[in-house]
Amino acid sequence: MTQPTGTPLIPGIAPVDSLSWSIPGLKEDPTMCLRCRSAQMLCGKPVCPILVKYDAFARTMPMLGTKELDGSSPPGLFVGRFGYPKVSLGPLLSPVHGDTLLLDTPEEWVGRTVAEVVGFRTMLVRGTQRVHVLDAEKPLRLVDDVQTLALARESVEVEATFKRPPRGHLALSDELPPYGPSAPIEKVRLDVGRWDDRLDRLARDTDALAGVAVKELYQKGVRVSRIQRAFSAGTLGRHGRRRFVPTRWSITAVDDILGRQNLDRVRSLPELSDWRVYRLTALGNRWLIALLPGSFRYESIEAWYPNTLWNPNPQSIVLMGDHEGHRGRTSYASIGGCYYAARLALSELMLRTGRQAGGLVLREVHPGEILPLGVWNVREHVRSALTQPPLVLPTLDDLHRTIAETFAIPLERWKLQSALLHEARTQRRLEEYSLGVAPAAASAAGPN
């Protein structure tokens, strides 16, 4: 099941095992790369050694070679996080004219290949300028331009001038979709066709809290990616409290806000009484999402094969997960934004079906995942899986068999890692006592 030693994942790039144990501390803590995902630099290196490996792949992008750009913005924007509270702010621009919405709409990327997604993103050039996050309400030209893009309904024609030709570098992150070349921007001229009236109205409402605005936009059918963009651009919230939010943070913040608001409604729904399973295979990932009888609780577990992105060990599988009980959690999940993205998708399903349940998201990552594509990969693929008719199962034993059939990793590894599966094996539900029925947990737990 593991890739032969010395075999490269991508032609022309060194095999993973040549890197594995050169990362300080990885041998002592195999989960370090999975916890870090290039965000915290836990190994102490100034740049992520795993992402450096893929530089050859990134260099396949075309170089623009000019300071002028004439084209279209999806619309899109980017707010960096390094140097916070002084951050890099600017529009995402494409040299292509016309409808470029697809380039910055992850809801439309399900079913696409890694190469297609990377191709979309490398067409986007980041214009950057340093600003303070509190400049979101100041009358600065770039601030106005970026916030105009955040409220646009469709692609925006642009003319931009940079201080130097954009450099061909592919920015990779497990939270963000990839981004293409960047350069400091001198000026930009926009030709906006139509505003999104829903975004525009909330931008003008300077009395609504940002969380209230996010909820209202979501209820009006605005796509999550568009809400995240408006949130990042500092167009939501009360006057005097608006600020730019780094794109990486805004994505998870919106997923978390919407997930928690949905779950406030989910907890009052009737409880599910059976076991349901949804499955999907996409982009080198196998997904199994299970609904467990009873009240809401949630767990997300990722299993990374050897030679996958955040597991450079050439021999061992690494599993990691987080969970929460009925009342939710107060600490940040160790597996990062993926946790909140999947939770949002699950909360949407429970509201649609009118039942609360335990939610278990299992993700098995195979070497086909060669690049980090962003949190959208989790949110949108879990959403996609949950639109399919579920497999309805009568017992916990049937769920165990389905997990074993779905994944290459043995069932026992999942059972050892999962708090929800352990709870299902060892705890009886109140109605089982009242009905005098032998619980499913009893048969699963065995004579002990």
pLDDT tens digits for range 171-190 = 666 677 877 788 999 999 99
pLDDT tens for 281-299 read 998 899 999 999 999 999 9
pLDDT tens for 306-330 read 777 667 676 788 899 999 999 999 9
pLDDT at residue number 120: 85
Closest CA relative to residue 231, chosen from 217, 239, 322: 217
Q: What is the mean pLDDT of residues 257-286?
A: 96
The beta-strand segments (E) located in 351-398 are 358-365, 391-393
The DSSP call for residue 178 is P
More reliable by pLDDT, 225 or 118: 225
Q: How confident is the model at residue 300 (pLDDT cuts 50, 70, 90)?
A: very high
Cβ neighbourhood burial of 115 (10 Å; 0-12, 13-18, 19+): exposed
pLDDT at residue number 282: 93
The DSSP call for residue 303 is E
CB atoms within 10 A of CB 435: 10
pLDDT tens for 154-163 read 999 999 999 9
pLDDT tens for 79-107 read 999 999 999 999 999 988 999 999 999 99
Q: Judge whether 367 and 308 are in contact, CB under 8 Å.
A: yes
Q: How confident is the model at residue 114 (pLDDT cuts 50, 70, 90)?
A: confident
To which residue do tokens 């409880």 refer? 271
Is it the case that residue 16 has pLDDT exceeding 50? no
Closest CA relative to residue 245, chosen from 100, 379, 77, 406: 77
Is it the case that residue 369 has pLDDT exceeding 70? no
pLDDT at residue number 221: 97
pLDDT at residue number 116: 84
Distance (Å, whole) CA 286 – CA 301 = 12
Distance (Å, whole) CA 407 – CA 343 = 21
pLDDT at residue number 208: 96
Is it the case that residue 6 has pLDDT exceeding 50? no
Mean pLDDT of the chain: 84
Q: How confident is the model at residue 121 (pLDDT cuts 50, 70, 90)?
A: confident
Q: What is the mean pLDDT of residues 340-360?
A: 98
Distance (Å, whole) CA 112 – CA 122 = 15
Is it the case that residue 66 has pLDDT exceeding 70? yes
pLDDT at residue number 9: 30
The beta-strand segments (E) located in 177-296 are 182-191, 275-282, 285-292
Q: What is the mean pLDDT of residues 359-363?
A: 98
Q: In the chain, what percentage of residues exceed pLDDT 90?
A: 64
pLDDT at residue number 34: 66
pLDDT tens for 129-148 read 999 999 999 999 999 999 99
pLDDT at residue number 73: 95
Reported residue count of the chain is: 448
Distance (Å, whole) CA 291 – CA 278 = 9
Structure pTM?
A: 0.83
Distance (Å, whole) CA 218 – CA 375 = 18
The DSSP call for residue 285 is E
Is it the case that residue 50 has pLDDT exceeding 70? no
pLDDT tens for 403-435 read 999 999 999 999 999 999 999 999 866 655 554
pLDDT at residue number 442: 41
